[in-house]
Amino acid sequence: MHHSRFTSVLLAGVTTLAALAVGAVPAVAAPAATSGPSAPSARPEPSGPDAVTAAPDDQDVEVFAEDGAISRAEVPAASPFVAEPSMSAAAAGDGAVTKIVNNGSTDSKLDVVMIGDGYTTAEQAKFRKDAAAKWKDISAVEPYATYRKLFNVWAVEAVSAQSGVSGDPKQDTVRKTALGSHFWCNSIERLLCVDINAVDTYAAKAPQADLVIVVANTAKYGGAGYGSTKSPLGYEGIATVAGGNGASGQIAVHETGHSLGKLADEYVAEGQEPYRGAEPPQPNITTLTADRMRQDRTKWYRWLGKASPDGGTVGAYQGAGNYPSGLNRPTDNSVMRSLGREFNLPGREAMIAGFYRHASTLTSGTPVTTRLKATDSLTVDLPVSGTKLRWYLDGKEVTALRDHKKIAVADLGPTGPKPAAHELKAVANDPTPSVVDPALTPALTRSLVWTVTR
């Protein structure tokens, strides 16, 4: 199956800021970003003359300060620091793809593509090491930690003629690289921009791309979150991170909150008018009070009063989606508000649902087109710990085989003389208490069906 894909990048051809990062609140044009916590973020689209149209090549990106604060800026889609790969670079392995985490086939896993920039031919081993370390940082955060076996990770080698990236160590440092990565983008030191077309070129080399992360060859803290509309390849955006900086993995965690969880930003900006628009669709912001959510049985009412992994209890905290009032968020300070935090309970639920839009809780190396005989055996894989497994023959459960990942067809018991063919079904269910919305729970169950002949 072909999946929808990751991030926060407004690609060329999108003409309005109303299409912001997937999961971010629809936006109007934001003022110039700053590094402080009061910098502007995505916000619900106003009606009337306040709606602003951006140039086709404008990219609305998120900027991440060292103190964890998040802001927004507009940057060009292209980079002046891109160097076309030379014949020697191509001969040296430019575009080579390595699977650094292998959990199964692309049709049953969520595929993360890491693309290096600023790594020379001699530094590709370093890139692969940096990419693996970055994935380790990302997958240590819940719910990634519990669901890490749902993911494959691909490393795509973009060979650069020069080592490092522009803007490091000084603002006037110039290095021509495969993706044109550069700090001081839009005069913001920690904003690490890339060339969108170049990223697409290399992402296309991977067998599948659901999330795309650019790993830049620098130890300087920085990154960017691009996104909203899908790339022509289908993924929903890009995060850029510093490969040699241990704190930059949190940038990608926040960005996947938009692309996978369809979550809005929870940070705010000073000096904004209160939000007066309609109820936004994102699951982690609302115009409603806690009492009204309970009354209407909507948004995160099921989580109200629960202790949240990001600290405190779930309620309705004023300020979200850039607006200081008029919109509420579930908790005081989750990773969708500032880096270095956990997802709150509604956010964690949305992320798990997002994982299952791309990956499956039940797989098997035996194709369902296989006609099984009495002498055959069958093995299935349950990548998520705690998943419950049931086997059914012609619609009746074979209770003796509950939670058995490997079975012999002969163990199914007598099938009788007729019919000559029987239906064997395996049904797996993830009973996680982190998903409580009935609209999301069907994604936690997956079945596979084979035909058994007499």
pLDDT in tens, 356-402: 999 999 999 999 999 999 899 999 999 999 999 999 999 999 999 99
Q: How confident is the model at residue 336 (pLDDT cuts 50, 70, 90)?
A: very high
CA distance 146 to 133: 18
Residue 9 has pLDDT above 70, yes or no: no
For residue 389, the cross-strand partners are 428
Residue 330 corresponds to which tokens in the numbers above?
């579930």
At 51-70, the pLDDT tens digits run: 333 334 778 888 888 888 88
Which residues belong to CATH 3.40.390.10 in the chain? 1-359
DSSP reduced 3-state for 391? strand
CA distance 424 to 156: 40
CB atoms within 10 A of CB 306: 15
Rounded to the nearest 5 degrees, what angle is found at the Cα of 436, between the Cα atoms of 431 and 442?
A: 65
Q: What is the secondary structure of 154-199 as a DSSP string?
A: EEE--B-SSSS-BTSSSTT----BSS--BSSBTTBTTB-B--HHHH
Cα separation values, 349 from 261, 318, 343, 355, Å: 8, 21, 9, 10
Residue 130 has pLDDT above 80, yes or no: yes
CA distance 194 to 182: 7
Q: How confident is the model at residue 111 (pLDDT cuts 50, 70, 90)?
A: very high
The per-residue pLDDT for 4 is 36
Portion of the chain with pLDDT greater than 70, in percent: 83
CA distance 61 to 73: 6
CB atoms within 10 A of CB 435: 21
Sheet order of strands, 445-453 included: 371-372, 445-453, 421-429, 388-393, 396-397
Sheet order of strands, 223-226 included: 70-76, 58-64, 223-226, 238-242, 211-216, 110-117, 151-156, 97-101
Residue with more model confidence, 147 or 273: 147
Residue 271 has pLDDT above 80, yes or no: no
Of the listed ranges 34-48, 122-136, 357-371, the one predicted with least confidence: 34-48
The residues, any chain, with a CB within 8 Å of residue 423's CB and separated by 6 or more, are 392, 393, 394, 395, 449, 450, 451, 452
| Residue of 267, 243, 291, 288 lying closest to 124 (CA atoms) | 243
CA distance 422 to 424: 6
Mean pLDDT across the stretch 185-192? 93
Q: Which residue has the tokens 């899908």?
A: 230
Q: Which residue has the tokens 């990608």?
A: 252
Residues in the chain: 454
Residue 175 has pLDDT above 60, yes or no: yes
The per-residue pLDDT for 62 is 85
Which residues belong to CATH 2.60.40 in the chain? 363-453
The per-residue pLDDT for 269 is 72
Residue 426 corresponds to which tokens in the numbers above?
């395996």
CATH topology for 363-453?
A: Immunoglobulin-like (2.60.40)
From the centroid of its chain, how far is CA 360? 16
CA distance 445 to 297: 24
Residue 235 has pLDDT above 70, yes or no: yes
Residue 126, phi-psi category: left (phi > 0), alpha (psi -120 to 50), beta (remainder): alpha
At 142-152, the pLDDT tens digits run: 999 999 999 99
Backbone angles phi, psi at 167, to 5 degrees: 85, 5
Of the listed ranges 7-11, 67-71, 202-206, 415-419, the one predicted with least confidence: 7-11
Contact indicator for 383, 363 with CB cutoff of 8 Å: yes
The per-residue pLDDT for 337 is 95
Contact indicator for 277, 364 with CB cutoff of 8 Å: no
Can you list the alpha helix ranges (DSSP code H) found in 61-188?
A: 87-91, 124-138, 144-147
Mean pLDDT across the stretch 300-306? 98
Task: Look at the pTM and tell me if it is higher than 0.75.
Answer: yes
CA distance 446 to 443: 7
Mean pLDDT across the stretch 171-176? 96
Residue 349 corresponds to which tokens in the numbers above?
């639920």
Residue 220 has pLDDT above 60, yes or no: yes
What's the CATH class of domain 1-359?
Answer: alpha beta
The per-residue pLDDT for 82 is 92
Residue 430 corresponds to which tokens in the numbers above?
């993830």
For residue 99, the cross-strand partners are 154
Q: How confident is the model at residue 322 (pLDDT cuts 50, 70, 90)?
A: confident
Computed on alpha carbons and rounded to an integer, the radius of gyration of the chain in Å comes to 24
Q: How confident is the model at residue 227 (pLDDT cuts 50, 70, 90)?
A: low
The per-residue pLDDT for 85 is 66
